[in-house]
Amino acid sequence: MKNSRFILAIILILITVFGIYFSLRQDPMSSQPEIEKEAEKPQQQLAEVFFTVYDSDESHRLELQTEDLKNYSQKKLMELKPVHVEVYNDDTGELLYIMDGESGVYYTDNKILNIKGPVDFDRNKYTIYCMEIVYDLKEDILKGKKDVEIYGPNFVGKGHRFKSDLNIEDLELFRSKEKKAVINFKESRNEE
């Protein structure tokens, strides 16, 4: 009986000591949300920013302007709100086209600029409206998504998405599952 009381007393003391030890020790799981919140915060936040990026062979220069830039260097991306992009032929200096969107994300590792909108795309020959443009600087591909409308001097094109080279010389218009891609040709105003 004495031994069982002694063993019970030791067990109670051990439980009390471990309880105090673990209650005073900081729980590593409780600091996890704080670490995640820190990782979600931008490392830099800048106002009225202008910067330049180039495509893979440096033949196209993109001059980007934004009122608000958030740089997430750990995620390797920059958020831009709103975004204005002027695309130049770097050899000739010719302005090829202008893109404007409500927001954008530039993925620094992949060299992809994603502009969300509505997005206005102005080229001297025509204008493109869509909800999203993906500008892939490594693959030299430009894609428009979500209800694309293309207005030219002699036509109006509508589709679900488009794909083009960076010079907009080889543009493909695609349909959605529900709707066909449509191009309506009209007489130019010069012929009237």
Dist. CA 48–CA 66, nearest whole Å: 6
Whole-number Å distance between alpha carbons of 98 and 84: 7
CA distance 86 to 52: 10
Give the whole-angstrom CA distance, residue 170 versus residue 176: 20
Segment 109-131, tens digit of pLDDT: 999 999 998 888 888 778 888 89
Residue 174 is encoded by which pair of tokens?
């695609």
**Least confident range of 14-28, 42-56, 103-117:** 14-28
pTM for this entry = 0.71
Rounded to an integer, the average pLDDT of 166-185 is 79
Tokens matching residue 176: 């959605």
pLDDT at 23 over 70: no
Cα distance between residue 98 and residue 110, in whole Å: 22
Backbone angles phi, psi at 167, to 5 degrees: -85, -5
Higher pLDDT, 96 or 121: 96
What per-residue confidence (pLDDT) applies to 26? 57
Residue 189: the pLDDT is 40
**Are 119 and 132 in contact, with CB atoms under 8 Å apart?**
yes
| Alpha-helical segments (H) within the chain | 2-24, 32-40
Average pLDDT over residues 19-28: 63
Specify the pLDDT at position 146: 82
